[in-house]
């Protein structure tokens, strides 16, 4: 078991370094877990505008850990707790900026579960919040997108996840995503 853990550490460390300049990310949840894509790129329900076009919705139970898909710095967040915590129309979120200039966007987080602050550095796979049901949802899930600034606006861009064997793939509707 110890040898397996050491090998996994070196594989993940070297893979994370190789991903720094590409739109390839680890799945945004704990290692060893798997979840299904309920809405993929260009989804008919809500993935039809510039900021959501290349997003995926992962069906996950409320309270499931959300983890950084790549090393980066927390750029922005909204926790949805406190005085205005009854504003369920607004999604609790965290956005993380990466060394390649891309921003990963994690939406519908559980209010009060966000364990990071703006400017904080996160390592790939470091968990920082829990899945919730805030904003425009039909149930608990994680909305994940990769964003880039274009003409002063954030737009989503195509990305790939990396599977446990190190292969990159584009997530698709009703596909299982494993970490």
**Interval 92-127: pLDDT, tens:** 999 999 999 999 999 999 999 999 999 999 999 999
**Interval 133-157: pLDDT, tens:** 988 888 999 999 999 999 999 999 9
HSE, side-chain direction, 13 A CA sphere, residue 82: 5
For the residues 18-23, what does the mean pLDDT come to? Answer: 62
Q: Classify domain 2-178 at the CATH superfamily level.
A: Glucose Permease (Domain IIA) (2.70.70.10)
Structure tokens at 35: 């979840």
Write down the pLDDT at residue 84. Answer: 47
Beta bridge partners of 174: none
How sure is the predictor about 45, in pLDDT bands with cuts at 50, 70 and 90? confident
Length of the chain: 179
What's the rounded Cα separation, in Å, for the pair 33 and 2?
Answer: 20
Instruction: Report phi then psi at 72, rounded to 5.
Output: -175, -175
Q: Check: CB of residue 150 under 8 Å from CB of residue 157.
A: no
Between strands 55-59 and 141-150, the pairing is antiparallel
Write down the pLDDT at residue 63. Answer: 98
Write down the pLDDT at residue 135. Answer: 87
Residue appearing with tokens 């899930």: 141
To the nearest whole number, what is the mean pLDDT of the chain?
88
**Is residue 9's pLDDT more than 80?**
no
């Amino acid at each position: 078991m110890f040898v397996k853990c050491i090998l996994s550490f070196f594989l993940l460390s070297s893979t994370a370094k190789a991903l720094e300049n590409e739109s390839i990310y680890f799945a945004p949840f704990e290692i060893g877990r798997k979840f299904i894509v309920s809405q993929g790129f260009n989804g008919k329900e809500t993935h039809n505008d510039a900021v959501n076009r290349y997003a995926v919705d992962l069906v996950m139970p409320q309270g499931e850990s959300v983890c950084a898909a790549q090393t980066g710095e927390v750029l922005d967040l909204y926790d949805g707790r406190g005085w205005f915590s009854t504003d369920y129309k607004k999604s609790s979120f965290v956005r993380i900026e990466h060394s390649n200039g891309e921003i990963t966007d994690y939406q519908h987080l559980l209010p009060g579960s966000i364990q990071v602050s703006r400017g904080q550095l996160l390592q790939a796979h470091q968990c920082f919040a829990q899945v919730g049901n805030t904003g425009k949802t039909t149930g608990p899930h994680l909305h994940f997108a990769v964003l880039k600034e274009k003409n002063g606006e954030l737009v989503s861009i195509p990305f790939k996840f990396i599977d446990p064997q190190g292969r990159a793939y584009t997530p698709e509707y009703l596909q299982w995503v494993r970490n």
